[in-house]
Structure 1
Amino acid sequence: MVLFTGCTSVHAKNLPERNDSVPSPSIICLSSDTAELLVIIGAGDHVIGVPESLVQNQPELLQFLPNAVSVGDAKRPDNERILELKPDMVMFISAMRPATAGTWEAAGIRAVPVESHKAGDLPKIARELGTLTGHDDKAREYAMFCEETLALVSSRIHGGRGSGPVIYIESYSDYVAYGNVSAADSVITMLNCHSLSGQVFFNATRISNEWLVTRDPDFIIKCIIPDNDKTMEGEYARLRDRPGLSTMRAAQENRVFVVNGNFLFSPHAPVGMVYLAKAVYPDQFADVDPDTVLQNYHRRFLHANETGSALYPVPWGKHGSGGLNP
């Protein structure tokens, strides 16, 4: 079994092969993305612990996680609770490995880094988790959906790597730009675009307003996680209000967007790619409806309709034209 570790998704043999003579593994997921991916492949009942952030921000997943309880903060989980639950393994994002991971290993619990938020990695990770949990069929279906969706995107984008427009993509924190080892930078690369900050910075880096204005990128994209206090519309208005932004090409040509990070850095990532691809290349994706792709994802894998927003504003109107649907 191969899993991914580190920010660059380096391959490492961390997980054991499935053993049919022993019960399927019990798992604590400190990453909401990995918990969602296990739900998608039909293995939600393997999950016995999740971060409090999932309970608060993604309660719709809880119906598919019947055995899961909160283990607190993803970075600083309740270690006593984890040891009491006695999982076979704890999965987490490699960059957020808790300091208490050593105590799990001493208790015979596997500490397993899993990166479930990069679109290009998801098919392989899904298949591996399917093998581990005995849910190969649904994992294969999801992996094929990802591959078909990403193939749709790549087939419409002409030119080589870096031949597209320059995009500035900002993290959840104001004026903190993503670096070239981020999932955000990989999205820009897959769109054959130039990442303004990825060309300069390795890690996420705080920039000045002047730095951005003087470089005048073709597109400006701000990532947020909507909640009761933060809406896509409100954050867009706040972004457009920044000093000097009105003088930039992106603002003057209506190429400033707010994107919901839940759709771009999660098992939704291939769907999020369709939204961004249509925003950046409207002519090539004129007959593709991202909303249809999103609803298909939710009906097939979460058995529900999605009511959230992936992108704001939506330049093609409430419903995209056409109906191509992986």
Structure 2
Amino acid sequence: MMPPKILLYCCLWLLLCAPQVQAAARLVVLPVDALEVVRLLGGMPQVVGVAQHAAGRNALLPEAAGIPGVGKGFAPNLETIAALAPDVLVAWKGYPGPELERRLAPFGIRVLRLDMHLPENLAAGVRILAGLLGEDAVVRGEAYLRWTRQTEARLRAAIPEDAARPTVLAEHFAPDRLAGPGSALFALTLKAGGRNLAAELRSASSPVSMEWVVERNPDVVIKSVALSSLDTAKGLAQLEKARGELLALPGWKDLPAARKGRVYAFSSDILGGPRWVVGMAALVAAFYPEAADKADAQALHNEYLHLFQGDGAGGALAAP
């Protein structure tokens, strides 16, 4: 049996060395929202590979331009990943498929699957990534999560207690598909005090007919748009175009929500992932115009960028 004094020294050595081993982890990160979390945790120096989509977000993730690309996120080049010799590959919960683990296992690469887009999963994902990145990342992560909790509480308090809850439909950035239960956009409409009519669809993404929409007659319509640029002017133009295209479809412009100017286009960047509270603020203001001064999405977005992303560019948020 090991003498107690030696056992104590061994335990102390493990405690002192474990964070250093974790902090030396080499990561390949496929989801851009997970990469944004890694950046707010201060872990970009440990990222050795990214999906090609990250290069288009260089206004927010400037380091990504200097990190080797591993191809498309859903279909990465596994040979390139193996050559980069990461300790961990961060992927989506469902993508790429299970062959990812099988093909990377011989290289000793662990696959970490996270669903960072859903608000309810974000805290766990932040803490898992922080644990890989070291003690400083843990401190940064807890500061971010504390800010998120406090911000959500303020936004909830801004929702008028005696106001009728507006009925809502929200369309994914994929045309003709509504966000339903299991999607981040659906969850945010509920957090923001809306009554989402897609609850009856029981699917995260469902195609519906115009007749179905007209029959339910939502008070507010939300269109999610995947911005191709973080340049604010270009982003606003893209949001306005997407909103106009939706209203140009047969039936949409005749909805009372359209006639009352309550059809909005929002950047998908704020409708899930680490900036979801910004999206919640934008939705609260859209659902309850009387609470708009307490739910300033642009001010909140600027605060997030200043506190956690070194004042990087986050792009346009909403139209109108």
TM exceeding 0.5? yes
Compared with structure 1, are the counterparts of its residues 203 and 276 closer, same or farther at alpha carbon in structure 2 (3 Å cutoff)? closer
Specify the alignment match of 2:12 in structure 1. Answer: none
Residues 118, 184 of structure 2: 8 Å contact kept: yes
Q: Given that residues 278 and 297 in structure 2 are in contact (C-alpha distance below 8 angstroms), is that contact kept between their aligned partners in structure 1?
A: yes
Aligned residue number for residue 145 of structure 1: 147
Match of 2:14 in 1: none
Contact 1:175 1:209 in 2 (8 A): no
Q: CA deviation at 1:61?
A: 4.1
CA contact (8 A) 2:169 2:198 kept: yes
CA distance in 1, matches of 2:157, 2:251: 36
Shift of 1:188: 1.6
Residue of structure 2 equivalent to 1:127: 127
CA distance in 1: counterparts of 2:314 and 2:187, whole angstroms: 27
Matched residue, 1:227? 228
Residues 237 and 67 of structure 1: CA distance in aligned 2, closer, same or farther (over 3 Å): closer
Tell me the equivalent position of 1:155: 157
Aligned position for 1:195: 196
Query: Which has the larger helix fraction?
Result: 2
Question: Taking CA–CA contacts closer than 8 Å with sequence separation of 6 or more, which of the two structures ends up with the larger relative contact order?
Answer: 2
Instruction: For 1:59 and 1:21, locate their aligned partners in 2 and report how far apart those are by CA, in whole Å.
Output: 29
Q: Indicate how the Cα distance of structure 1 residues 253 and 158 shifts in structure 2: closer, same or farther if over 3 A, else same.
A: same
Q: 1:154 to 1:120 in 2, by over 3 A?
A: farther
Paired residue secondary structure (2:199): coil
- Tell me how far apart the structure 1 counterparts of residues 63 and 128 of structure 2 sit (CA, whole Å): 20
| Structure 1: runs of 5 or more not aligned | 1-17, 314-326
Deviations 1:238-296 (A, max 9, x none): 11112122221211221100110012122111111111111111213434422111111
Query: Mapping of 1:45-60 within 5 angstroms?
Result: 45-55=45-55, 57-60=56-59
Aligned length: 293
Q: 1:196 & 1:69 partners in 2: Cα distance?
A: 43
What secondary structure does 1:174 align onto?
coil
User: 1:287 and 1:154, CA in 2 relative to 1: closer, same or farther beyond 3 A?
Assistant: closer
- Kept after mapping to 2: 8 A contact 1:48/1:87: yes
The answer (yes or no) to whether the contact 2:193–2:287 under 8 Å persists in 1 is no
Q: 1:281 aligns with which of 274, 283, 288?
A: 288
Superposed, 1:1-326 pairs within 5 Å as: 19-20=18-19, 22=21, 24-55=24-55, 57-65=56-64, 68-98=67-97, 99-134=99-134, 135-158=137-160, 164-227=165-228, 231-304=238-311, 306=313, 308-313=315-320
CA distance in 1: counterparts of 2:19 and 2:205, whole angstroms: 43
- Residue 263 to residue 279, structure 1, CA distance change in 2 (3 Å): same
Secondary structure of 2:290's aligned partner: coil
Cα distance in 2, alignment partners of residues 107 and 301 from structure 1: 34
Alpha-carbon RMSD across the aligned residues, in angstroms, is 2.2
1:288–1:262 Cα change, 3 Å: closer
SS in structure 1 of the partner of residue 198 of structure 2: coil
CA deviation digits over 1:62-92, x for unaligned, max 9?
4345862110011110010011111111111
Deviation at 1:196, TM superposition (A): 1.6
- Find the aligned partners of 1:66 and 1:283 in 2 and give their Cα distance: 42
User: What is the TM-score with the length of structure 2 in the denominator?
Assistant: 0.84
Q: Give the match's secondary structure for 2:224.
A: strand
Kindly name which structure, 1 or 2, has the bigger radius of gyration based on alpha carbons.
Answer: 2
In structure 2, distance between residues paired with 1:278 and 1:287: 8
CA distance in 1, matches of 2:109, 2:25: 11
Q: What stretches of structure 2 of length at least 5 have no aligned partner? A: 1-16
Q: Secondary structure at the match of 1:95?
A: coil
Distance 1:253 1:305, change over 3 A: same
Q: Which amino acid aligns with 1:192?
A: G
Aligned-residue identity in percent: 23
Distance (Å, rounded) in 1 between the aligned partners of 2:41 and 2:139:
8
